[in-house]
Amino acid sequence: MTHATATVDLMRPPFPAEPGAGVYSNKLGMWVFLASDVMFFTALIGTYIILRFGVSEPWAKPNAVLNVPLTAFNTFLLICSSVSMVKAFAAISQGDQRGLRLWLLLTILAGASFVSVQVVEYIKLVGHGFTPAGYREGSLLAEHAVSDAVKYGAATSGLYGSTFFTMTGFHGFHVTCGVISMTYLYLTKVLPGKYSRQDYRGIETIGLYWHFVDLVWIILFTIVYLI
């Protein structure tokens, strides 16, 4: 494999480094942004945990309302996109333009598919009566909640709906921003061949963002869909 012979020097390409951090400014800036994004998502997840375990009434079972197999497939898609992103990085760090084009295109397609599946999931959930305000009156879910209040968490559906759509919505927004950014890079830098073995800062920087989005989803999937 071509990347098997690469070394840690790839992590420190010959670009002017910021004193102290030892990395170039784009990369340092992305890491600082990601650190702030950690706080942002922790606030959302922390709020969810506090609300969920702070209420005395039962919370809806995850598989009662949500389509877990569909989201598991979506998780798989995002993990695949993370692999293709890192393969794009490995390709250009070896000067492989064709590999960069292929792997980055696959990443964009997988990211766009993730957002599309999430949109379909939202449409179906709202169609079944699960809204950010809880179970819609007269909907199928509201009827189920009346007959089985424990399984469907009838009393806490408003909290469930608002936290679910806020967390997954903000994550979906991050994925959308990533797909738009990667498409812009692909059209303006990758296709014209502006990246090279000597300069691939844009790919490494957007790659960090994309892997972080994957990392956040790994946590969200477990907390929101499985627990």
Partner 1 sequence: METTHKLPNYMLIWLYLFILTGAEVLFAFEMPISQVVKILCLLFLAIVKALLVALFFMHLKFERWRLRVVFMIPLPLAAILVLAVITEKLW
Position 106 contacts partner 1 (CB under 8 A): no
* Contact pick of 64, 83, 150, 155 for partner 1 (by CB under 8 A): 83
Q: How far is CA 73 from CA 34, 76, 156, in A?
A: 26, 5, 28
Please give the DSSP secondary-structure letter assigned to residue 154. G
To partner 1, the closest distance from the beta carbon of 145 in angstroms equals: 21
Q: Assess contact for 135 and 129: CB atoms under 8 A.
A: yes
Q: How far is the CB of 86 from partner 1 (least distance, A)?
A: 5
- Report the DSSP pairing between strands 130-131 and 134-135: antiparallel
User: If binding is defined by CB under 8 A, does position 79 make contact with partner 1?
Assistant: yes
| Exposure string over 39-59, b if 16+ CB within 10 A, otherwise e | eebeebbeebeeebeeeeeeb
Stretch that binds partner 1, among 44-52, 108-116, 136-144, 180-188 (CB under 8 A): 44-52
Cross-strand pairs, 135: 130
- Which of the ranges 25-33, 106-114, 122-130, 178-186 carries the binding residues for partner 1, by CB under 8 A? 25-33
Count of Cβ atoms closer than 10 Å to residue 71 Cβ: 21
Would you count residue 158 as binding partner 1 (CB under 8 A)? no
Q: Is 146 among the residues that bind partner 1 (CB under 8 A)?
A: no
Stretch that binds partner 1, among 80-88, 135-143, 152-160, 165-173 (CB under 8 A): 80-88
Nearer to partner 1, 134 or 178 (CB): 178
Question: Which residues make beta-bridge pairs with 153?
Answer: none
Q: Token pair of 164, please?
A: 């679910």
C-alpha–C-alpha distance, residues 63 and 69, integer Å: 9
Residues that bind partner 1 (CB under 8 A): 1, 3-11, 20-23, 28, 31-32, 34-36, 38-39, 42-43, 46, 49-50, 53-54, 62-63, 68, 72, 75-76, 79-80, 82-83, 85-87, 90, 207-208, 211-212, 214-215, 218-219, 221-223, 226-227
